[in-house]
Structure 1
Amino acid sequence: MSVHGLTLILLCWLPLRILLTPVSSHPQLSHCRLIQRTALCNNANVSSVPSGLPGDTEDLQLNNNHLETLQDDSLLLYPSLLSLSLACNLLTELESNAFQNSPSLKSLNLANNRLHMGVSQTSLALKKLPHLRALDLSVNKLGGEMLTTLLQNLTSLEYLNLSGNLLMRLDESSFSDLHQLRELDLQRNVIFEIDDAFQSNAKLQRLNLAFNYLPCLTDFRMTQLVVLNASHNFIEWFISRQDLDDTFQLETLDLTDNKLLFFPFLPSHSRLRNLYLAHNNLRFYEHLADNVTNPNLTTTVEFYNLNKDTGNVTAQLWNEGLHGDISSLEILDLRVNQVQYFPEGFIGKMSALTRLQMRKNCLESLNLTEGFSGRLYELDISDNRLNQISVDAETLAVLSNLTYFNLSLNNLERLPSKLFSSLPSLRSVDLSFNDVDVCVSEDAAPIRADNVSSCVSWRDVAYLEQLYLKGCNLEIIPPSAFSGLSLTHLELSDNPGLQVQGSIRGLGRTLQHLGLGNTQIRDLDFSHFEHLKFLNISANNLADLPSSLLDLDLKVLDIRDNRLSTIPRSLANTLAPKLQLVFLAGNPFSCCQTEWFRTFESTKTMTMVEQSDIRCEDLLLTTHRVQNLRSSVCLDDRGETYILWYLLLFLPICLSFVGILFIFLLSFRPKTLQKSIKKRCLKRSSY
């Protein structure tokens, strides 16, 4: 056969082959990415399930598309499906036989659709999935009755996500068929009542009720639960059943951002490890338990089931047993509450405590002899009203694992003389915003009879790495204050007039973070700090940046609120490729010297924080945003633009002023003015 004949046959066969190829095959495959037995068809702009995928596909993802209905024949070609994700579509319903050929499906994601419009059909479809383990129905505007209909007979379900719906009330029928359920997410609904909703879920271990409207959780008896998140509600009371002999398996209880008035009434036998109670109204009321002093105060409170009109919980408010079993507690977060003191013996019950966070409470004294755990790793008592710390040598020996100690934002003026030096594992101390000085020498550190001192000697805190002394009204730090230490972080900002007298020069080999903002420090040589990564020299009234910055490998530089008019080109070119963050706002930069800004702006690895707040002044004292600066507001290389504007603006004004002044002066000598006019204007005629 000739070459021309073969070519003609091929040309005729090609259109026929295109016509015979299924229309839905290749075009739809182009929207999907195949990885082994997974088909990724997300954001594919399709309105139906692609029909040209491999028949053995096990995982099909069709998120962010335009499907409105999952039809009966949509999945017939994929009998091996184990996982199907249809999140963020326009689904109003699943037809009743949509899963007739998907008996092995275990995971189904239907989040962020419109399934509230077709609950009955969708319910029939879900019943065809005997092995379904995980179901996501979040953000579908589902109400309580819709939920009951959808979940009928899903006895194999282990994970269920119902977050972001319109659930208001849960009762015993809500999850009655979900006997295998282990994890349930109900956050971001409008739930205000739970009435025996989980009595059929004996295997439930993780329950998320965050961001709802629950007023209380009483008669808590879910002994099998391991994690309970009830944060961001309106809970005033948490009361568990303390008459049960079974040990509660609860390990994490999160009640953050509620309205708690009392410490939770925990189970008598539990394995609780993490208790989060931040941002509540919690305090202790042991001082009110004395009926002699307070005879009119009640000691019990009863909670009623409004539906049955009978009392079901009675709590004795001042009973120490209400605290429950906290012996295994490792983390206690009590930040932002109203705690004024700890009840007697309360701290000693937490023998496994590793972290105690008490920021922003009302403590006026801290007694470290109350039986703190020897495993205590972090102690944060910042932003309280502390004016006294009590301790003894035996207690300090027990706290041998204490590593982070935060006492900032208190009213401390004196401290136990050996408080920090007797803690061998101490790595970080924050004493910011207290009036405790740095000892000049051991002889200059007077110790009172009660073994407290107004200053701290840091040389004996051998393993200290991070020291924060911000806002302590420090005036002088002697040269030997930090000798022998290997500090990596030193914060001395907000101590106006501070004199460091070379005390930090010995930290050159280790220091990585140095804060000297608002200290009015001058002429400090930074070239010794070869490992420095963060430097704060803001609010120091600096007119020029130290040239020693050229020697540093800085990542963060804060030079806000100084008197900088420019940054030298050589310094900008050196810093730009090294820095990751730079703070520049609050300086009176000159609009005629902004080459540094263009250098920083063109460096992709660096960010100018609050860039829109960086401003400059032109020669007419007009303020501009540097990022929007136009070249016409300033000089060009020869100064011609400025001179022209200067002449055009000021010369007519000056000439007018001189003329007005001359006429004004002559007005005081009218005779001279008349003679002048006559002399110049009334000359004699020649004829």
Structure 2
Amino acid sequence: MVRHMFPNLLLVWSLSYDLYITGGRCYTPKQNSWNNRNLSSVPEDLNARLRRLDLSNNFIRKLHTLALPYLEQLDLSSNQLDFISEGAFENLARLEHLNLSRNGLNINPGINSKALQSLSRLKSLDISMNGLSNDAVELYLRNKLSLDQLKMTGNSLTRLSHSLFRESNSLRTITIDDNLISEIATGTFEPLSRLEMLSLAKNNLVHICDFKLHQVKYLNLSWNSVEFFVTHENDMLYSLEILDLSYNKLLFFPIVPKMNHLRYLYLQNNMLGTLKSEAAMVSEANSLYDEIVSEKVAMKNNLHAIWRLMPLFYIDLSYNHFTSFPLETLSLLSSLETLDFSYNCMQSIDWNIRNYNDSGHIRQLVFRSLKSLNLQSNGLVYISPLFLNALTQIETLNLQDNSMQPCASTDKLSSPHSTVKMNPNTSCAAFGKLRTLKHLNLRENDIKTLWPNAFLRTPLVSLNLAKNQHMVMHERALEGVQTTLQSLMISEINMSGSHPSLPCMPVLTHLNISNNHLNKMPSGLGCSPLKEIDMRNNAFMTLNNSLIHTLSVHLTSMFISGNHFNCCDSGWVTVLREMKIGLPDINETECFTRVRNVTMTTYLTSPSSYCLFHKQAQEVHFVQMIVIVLFITVLSAVLIVFSRKLCCSQRSFMV
């Protein structure tokens, strides 16, 4: 048996040795990194079977023949490369990904481009930051029939010609950001049937007169000078899903393809709303469309007709110039779920819509799918109840940094037994109309009074009332939502008092009472399964041990810094540490002793040494009290005896 085994062992050893010598799969080096090595040339001792080679961030200026037949990825970015010999890439038959960004390829484009023509299998090419002109780029893109991804960010292109991608018509992704492009010739991108992603951000484009790229799914035109975006109406189905027109000079809403898959539309930081009224903006947009397409059909609202068909899910209109809310246009978006309308110029949201007849009935529009609305930093003081009625599916409402005052519950005000007195002329928001609202942000609204039942009938899960520094919070203000509220922020509201009150909230898990003047925890917290409490920057000296024991069942973290804790009355800290409750800011937390202030962590390393004097002082004080009591008792007895003797002696004298 051993005799037959020996030849088999020799065979196995021989095969293993051959695999090792020939660079078998198990021993093939897959990658090698030579980045940041201060190299001035490509190392000569590279393994011939490398698949990935990183030579980025060096000082290589010239590139000669590379004998790496298995190489698939080559990174030569951030060098000083300005010369590539014609045969440099001839032996790179498998190269698919080439990064030549941040070099000097603009110096010898004729010679360098010939070297790249031998890369017939190239799928990804990055020639960003090379100072390339229109003609130079056209040279580098010759014979790139298999190219799938192209990046040319930060060059010097001013115009895109129809012949630019003639020999690279398999492109799927093109990025030409941060150039000087002001003109795109007709037919530049249309032949690229596989093109899905096109980014032309940070250029000098002014007008998109006729968008024809039906194959593109993502189009980025941000950071240009685009004044309008118009598409000729036709029945061709466009694949467009994401359109980014942010940071431009748009005066009108874009007129997108009638048949599209548009889901995300970014219009922030434009000049929308400058024309003041919605009717003027829509009218001007339609007139512009008629002028561009030379359409003679009178009284056709092309903008609304097309927007009515958009399956839009998200739209960002922040940082524009709206003084009124474009109710009619936005209500046409039946699939819209998220709307960002923050940082505009509205003081009120009025119900200014056109009625189609003279019946006198106000037309009610509905935002059928809108779940999240951001109205932060608009200067709002009034929102029409009809607008709130239109938000039939709203779940998240952000009103931070406005001047909105919550109304009191109409039920309570109408009650004959109500003691609440409220000025009927005061503008306020009746949040009780929002029967689907879960998340409400009223931070920084200068709220004067939070009335009883202010959020009645709203299934609020989170409520932010922070930074309303003059707010008077009625003790029954949270009634109606105490059974649903999971997160409550009442920081920076000048809350003070020894016994602040909150209702029993049986599902509350996050509470922020930081930056107030509290010296005791609000009553009612014992029935809340709190996981996180933020009580920083208050006036706490100690915490109730029994309450901490109760809360520690669910508590995971507590923020406590910025208070004036008594080191020698800190048994609650021991409880928290024993229960392994996180105290993320304990290193910044101080406590005081009779001698000096110390950090809580320093005190906890040796609590007895810091509080021994305190205990001794207490004992001495107790002894002193006993001595004083005894002294007073003895003195009183002596005085009583003396007075009796004196009295007796006086009687004897008189007799």
On whether the aligned pair clears a TM of 0.5, the verdict is yes
Match of 1:240 in 2: 230
Task: Give SS of 1:382's match.
Answer: coil
The question of whether the paired residues in 2 share the 8 Å contact of 1:227 and 1:253 is answered with yes
Structure 2 Cα separation of the partners of residues 290 and 242 of structure 1: 22
1:469 and 2:468 matched: no
Shift of 1:485: 1.9
Structure 2 Cα separation of the partners of residues 589 and 257 of structure 1: 57
Task: Give SS of 1:116's match.
Answer: coil
Match of 2:56 in 1: 63
1:157 and 2:147 matched: yes
Match of 1:264 in 2: 254
Task: Give SS of 2:249's match.
Answer: coil
The question of whether the paired residues in 2 share the 8 Å contact of 1:252 and 1:273 is answered with yes
Note closer, same or farther for the CA distance 1:271–1:564 as it changes in structure 2 (3 Å cut).
same
Structure 1 Cα separation of the partners of residues 323 and 548 of structure 2: 51
Residue 212 of structure 2: which of 221, 228, 241 is its match?
Answer: 221
Shift of 1:79: 1.7
The question of whether the paired residues in 1 share the 8 Å contact of 2:307 and 2:329 is answered with no
Structure 2 Cα separation of the partners of residues 165 and 585 of structure 1: 53
**Deviation string, structure 1 residues 425-471 (Cα, Å, up to 9, x no partner):** 43211123153744436xxxxxxxxxxxxxx144x334x22111224
Structure 2 Cα separation of the partners of residues 599 and 35 of structure 1: 58
Note closer, same or farther for the CA distance 1:88–1:474 as it changes in structure 2 (3 Å cut).
same
Amino acid at match of 2:302: G
Map 1:72-83 onto structure 2 (within 5 A).
72=65, 74=66, 76=67, 78-83=68-73
> Identity rate of aligned residues, in percent?
25
Structure 2 Cα separation of the partners of residues 389 and 586 of structure 1: 46
**Deviation string, structure 1 residues 82-117 (Cα, Å, up to 9, x no partner):** 322222333223211112122332221222222223
Shift of 1:159: 0.7
Amino acid at match of 1:265: I
Task: Give SS of 2:339's match.
Answer: strand
Residue 111 of structure 2: which of 118, 121, 128 is its match?
Answer: 121
Residue 334 of structure 1: which of 299, 309, 317 is its match?
Answer: 317
**Deviation string, structure 1 residues 217-253 (Cα, Å, up to 9, x no partner):** 3332222211111222333x23222233322221111
Residue 307 of structure 2: which of 310, 325, 330 is its match?
Answer: 325
Structure 1 Cα separation of the partners of residues 320 and 582 of structure 2: 43
Structure 1 Cα separation of the partners of residues 254 and 332 of structure 2: 15
Map 1:30-41 onto structure 2 (within 5 A).
38-41=30-33
Residue 438 of structure 2: which of 405, 408, 427 is its match?
Answer: 427
Shift of 1:71: 0.8
Note closer, same or farther for the CA distance 1:212–1:593 as it changes in structure 2 (3 Å cut).
farther
Note closer, same or farther for the CA distance 1:140–1:591 as it changes in structure 2 (3 Å cut).
farther
Note closer, same or farther for the CA distance 1:581–1:210 as it changes in structure 2 (3 Å cut).
farther
Match of 1:361 in 2: 344
1:399 and 2:392 matched: yes
Amino acid at match of 1:69: K
Structure 2 Cα separation of the partners of residues 510 and 280 of structure 1: 43
Note closer, same or farther for the CA distance 1:89–1:477 as it changes in structure 2 (3 Å cut).
same
Match of 2:93 in 1: 103
Match of 1:375 in 2: 369
Match of 2:534 in 1: 535
The question of whether the paired residues in 2 share the 8 Å contact of 1:300 and 1:315 is answered with no
1:178 and 2:171 matched: no
Structure 2 Cα separation of the partners of residues 189 and 587 of structure 1: 58
The question of whether the paired residues in 2 share the 8 Å contact of 1:555 and 1:581 is answered with no
Shift of 1:136: 0.9
Amino acid at match of 2:349: S
| Range moving further from structure 2, 179-188 or 583-592 | 583-592
Structure 2 unaligned spans of 5+:
1-22, 354-362, 412-429, 606-611, 614-655
The question of whether the paired residues in 2 share the 8 Å contact of 1:59 and 1:83 is answered with yes
The question of whether the paired residues in 1 share the 8 Å contact of 2:400 and 2:442 is answered with yes
**Deviation string, structure 1 residues 593-618 (Cα, Å, up to 9, x no partner):** 344487899xxxxxxxxxxxxxxxxx
**Deviation string, structure 1 residues 528-551 (Cα, Å, up to 9, x no partner):** 46634241443x4x3746476976
1:488 and 2:486 matched: yes
Structure 2 Cα separation of the partners of residues 412 and 64 of structure 1: 54
**Deviation string, structure 1 residues 348-380 (Cα, Å, up to 9, x no partner):** 320111111111223311659854443322122
Note closer, same or farther for the CA distance 1:591–1:71 as it changes in structure 2 (3 Å cut).
farther
Note closer, same or farther for the CA distance 1:580–1:255 as it changes in structure 2 (3 Å cut).
farther
**Deviation string, structure 1 residues 604-656 (Cα, Å, up to 9, x no partner):** xxxxxxxxxxxxxxxxxxxxxxxxxxxxxxxxx99xxxxxxxxxxxxxxxxxx
Note closer, same or farther for the CA distance 1:577–1:373 as it changes in structure 2 (3 Å cut).
closer
Amino acid at match of 1:250: L
Structure 1 Cα separation of the partners of residues 137 and 95 of structure 2: 21
Task: Give SS of 2:403's match.
Answer: coil
Please tell me the root mean square deviation across aligned C-alpha atoms, in Å. Answer: 4.6
The two structures have a TM-score, normalised by structure 2, of 0.69
The question of whether the paired residues in 1 share the 8 Å contact of 2:592 and 2:598 is answered with no
Task: Give SS of 2:135's match.
Answer: helix
Match of 1:669 in 2: none
Shift of 1:335: 1.1
Match of 2:356 in 1: none
Amino acid at match of 2:508: L
Shift of 1:43: 2.7
Amino acid at match of 2:303: L
Structure 1 Cα separation of the partners of residues 568 and 107 of structure 2: 63
Task: Give SS of 2:174's match.
Answer: strand
Shift of 1:124: 0.5
Task: Give SS of 1:120's match.
Answer: helix
Match of 2:597 in 1: 593
Structure 1 Cα separation of the partners of residues 42 and 147 of structure 2: 25
Match of 2:519 in 1: 522
Match of 1:204 in 2: 195
Amino acid at match of 1:198: F
Match of 1:557 in 2: 559
Shift of 1:423: 4.7
Shift of 1:126: 0.9
Structure 2 Cα separation of the partners of residues 256 and 370 of structure 1: 31
Match of 1:136 in 2: 126
